[in-house]
Amino acid sequence: MDCSTPENIDLVVQRTYLAKKVYDDKIKNTHSKTLIFCAPVRNIIYGFGEDKKRINAFHSKLCAAIFNDELKDKFDPTISFNNYANSGQFKDAVYLSSELRKEEQKAILEAFRTPDKPPFILCTVGMLIEGFDFPALENLILLRPTLSIRLFEQQVGRITRLSPNSNKDRGNIFEIVDDIESLFDKFGEGVFEEKKIERIQMLQPENRIEELFTEGNTIEAIHAGKIQISEINFKGKGIVEEFQENRAMEETKGKSNAQTLFRENGDSTLFFLLK
């Protein structure tokens, strides 16, 4: 992720705020736990010097600030990234990065695993992809684009376990992606070059999720009702209404193993319902 200009940072803020908007629409239980995988940052315009750990973790801090309603449309260079509220307890959304002291990292993870207490949203980059076992995790947001099916599988794997000690019966996965129209607006006809087309196809989450959960037998899985793909235009019917209608249709048809995918035009949100 390139944050070398104010314009680039504002775009990152707006894109991350889209994830916040979807979270607000979709997640009614704000005390459920949500893990967000953020994107590593290569370079940044504002005063982080040459500290590579701080630069790399910038998006996770930005994400936590946005989910705490401290930022919305534009970046404020005077903002102080802080995981703690005035009361001394963790904020609802916090960041976890390798620059933090080991004791603080441990305290954040212990608090995140504690039911009904903050933090409820954990934003991280380059951490918890492997070895993080938290079966009660209910929501996963992917803000880090990847061409690696292995990395995608590891990220999704954080939420696919069921917890015998909770009422969790499904996991919600959200991913922010670009559709072909928004990419064409940015790159013009160059988007149709062979290498770019291959990259775009690999980045489309529905291609990866189908391969991951159906072992390549996508057509059979769709016919069996294991996967349902729905197009949603946020400018038309509300996302919540569309979600409720699709869930009602699934339950009527007895699709107990359904995966429901939602897309929006332009910058889009892909929503997987894993059950």
For 260, counting Cβ atoms within 10 Å of its Cβ (0-12 exposed, 13-18 middle, 19+ buried), the class is buried
Homologous superfamily (CATH) of 2-169 is P-loop containing nucleotide triphosphate hydrolases (3.40.50.300)
Write out pLDDT tens, residues 234-253. 443 444 444 445 555 555 55
The answer to whether 97 touches 53, Cβ cutoff 8 Å, is yes
Pure H helices in 117-238: 149-156, 180-187, 194-203, 205-214, 218-223
Q: What is the pTM of this model?
A: 0.71
- Per-residue confidence (pLDDT) for residue 132, from 0 to 100: 77
In the block, residue with structure tokens 């995988």: 37
Write out pLDDT tens, residues 7-44. 888 888 988 998 898 899 888 888 999 999 998 887 77
The answer to whether 36 touches 19, Cβ cutoff 8 Å, is yes
Interval 100-114 mean pLDDT: 94
Distance (Å, whole) CA 122 – CA 68: 11
| 21, 112, 177, 244 from 58: Cα distances, Å | 20, 20, 20, 36
The answer to whether 35 touches 67, Cβ cutoff 8 Å, is no
**Closest Cα partner for 112 from 32, 21, 27?**
32
Band (114; pLDDT cuts 50, 70, 90): very high
Write out pLDDT tens, residues 8-18. 888 889 889 98
